[in-house]
Amino acid sequence: MELNQRLERLPVSRFHYFLLLTAGIAWMFDSMDTGIISFVLPVLMKSWRLTTEQVGTIGSMGLAGMALGAVFSGTIADMIGRKRVLVATLLTYSLATGLCGLAWNYGSLLFFRFLVGFGLGGQLPVAVTLVGEFSPAKYRGRFLVLLESFWAVGWLLAAVIAYLVIPTYGWSIAFFLGALPALYVGYLWRFVPESPRYLESHGRQAEAAGIVARIETQAGVTPPTEQVVKPAAHRQETKEAKFGLPHLFTRAYLKRTIFLWVLWFGIVFAYYGIFTWLPSLLALKGFVLTKNFSYILLMTLAQIPGYFSAAALVDKLGRKPTLVVYILGTAIFAYFFGQGSSNASILTMGCLMSFFNLGAWGIIYTYTPELYPTVARATGSGWAAGFGRIGGILAPLVVGAILGRNPSGYSMVFVMFTGVLLVVALNVLVLGEETRGRTLDEIAT
């Protein structure tokens, strides 16, 4: 029995939940460090007398780093392994976040935010690839959406830090707290195994078989007495290990690549355009700092049931229909959020927008790595995420430009995001393919 078959036949066991929790904590720290800057920006806008265009540039600089980090780390992870890159990226963004607390002017903060973004963007496609390659097909969608749900926990931590720390101790302390995840690196390196699918694709069958055997034993499954490796199959994997960017545009993968790049661009554009600016947009609407943070805290809490509902549906209804519903839900409530005039309407529409938006994110992180083979999974995921970050770079700048020309253009901003999300939903309907219940090897062929 081949290793991929042994991984697929495994029941969900303690190991799968351990990996989900361990990778999820890293994901949570990624989100926390991403979120902290959003809460610091309104304070810096006043204390450093920044223009809306400068605020948008700070947000975009982090996204520029995320774009390059996703592309570089995804490609490297297919060469040297998922585990090494996961650890390196976490260390990078944690230390760089601490450096942001030492920023002495606008230019230095831009530089440090680029470094933060490089690490943040690099970790996400690698973490989702690692968890996805261990998860059986029947439960893969659920596990990957639950992994993405740790993003909401990280934003909650960022909101709590902002609420409790920034008003009393200043913005620098918030960044210093964001450096603490560096302490988690040793634990990851010691306890997280390398992906057996990656090891096998690089000719390291003995290591891969040992990892799978340990998981089988822990799950109460008897490992096969011997592992048979087909020479022809091994030679094919070694040849495919040279997979590079041009292969994403070959006939076999072109449709999938176009679909994913459009999907990522639109979703990232909407998400970072909305949530990077959200504290500042609420401040422009007249909310004081403490109410601003409390409203965003409630909107962030609404993300958690969004993730859980998506996790419940993604393996039952399928990737395509669930994703379309959540994207359309985000579009509808983004529009009404922009039109809101009362505190109650802004809070209600904001919570619903957050619910659907982050549910959609969970499905995207499930969908993306499924559409490429093992030797290209991190590369394909990284390049899709990297291209998407271009949307994230542009969005804060576009919002800043709109508000710079028309400070009361709050509603216009959300009309724009609604239009973008409608295009993204159409892309899923036309180009997306269903992967529910199929093994990674079946999808790749």
Cβ partners under 8 Å of residue 319, min gap 6:
141, 363, 366, 367, 370, 432, 434, 435, 436
Domain total in the chain: 1
pLDDT in tens, 53-68: 788 788 778 888 988 9
Query: How confident is the model over 421-435, as pLDDT tens digits?
Result: 999 999 999 998 888
d(CA 361, CA 381): 14
Distances from the Cα of 94 to the Cα of 20, 115, 225, angstroms? 21, 10, 44
- Helix axis angle for 137-164 and 289-301, nearest 10°, is 170
Q: What is the residue-level pLDDT of the chain in tens, covering all 445 positions?
A: 688 788 888 888 899 999 999 999 999 998 898 888 888 888 888 889 888 778 878 877 888 898 899 889 988 998 899 999 999 999 999 999 999 999 999 999 999 999 999 999 899 889 988 998 998 888 888 898 899 889 888 988 888 888 788 888 889 999 999 999 999 999 999 999 999 999 998 888 899 989 999 998 888 888 776 554 444 344 344 444 455 677 788 888 899 999 999 999 999 999 888 876 776 667 666 655 445 567 777 888 888 899 889 988 988 888 899 999 999 999 999 999 888 777 788 889 989 999 999 899 989 988 888 888 887 888 888 899 889 988 888 887 788 788 777 766 677 888 999 999 999 999 999 998 888 877 777 666 6
Per-residue confidence (pLDDT) for residue 288, from 0 to 100? 53
Picking from 22, 335, 306, the residue whose alpha carbon sits closest to that of residue 190 is 22
**Ramachandran region, residue 230 (left: φ > 0; alpha: ψ -120 to 50; beta: rest):** beta
CATH value at residue 392 = 1.20.1250.20
Sign of CA dihedral 252, 253, 254, 255: positive
How far is it, in rounded angstroms, from Cα 32 to Cα 181? 10
How far apart are the C-alpha atoms of 52 and 70, rounded to whole Å?
27
Find, among 267, 409, 269, 397, the residue nearest to 339 by Cα.
409
Confidence at residue 232, expressed as pLDDT on a 0 to 100 scale: 37
Task: Output b/e per residue, 409-440; b: 16+ Cβ within 10 A.
Answer: bbeebbebbbebbbebbebbeeebeebbeebb
Tally the C-alpha atoms within 13 A of residue 92's C-alpha that lie toward its C-beta: 21
Give the largest CA-CA distance in the chain: 71
So what's the pLDDT on residue 287? 58
Q: Are 264 and 384 in contact (CB under 8 A)?
A: yes
Range of the domain at 274: 3-444
Instruction: Write down the pTM of the prediction.
Output: 0.79
Three-state secondary structure string covering 191-217? HCCCCHHHHHHCCCHHHHHHHHHHHHH
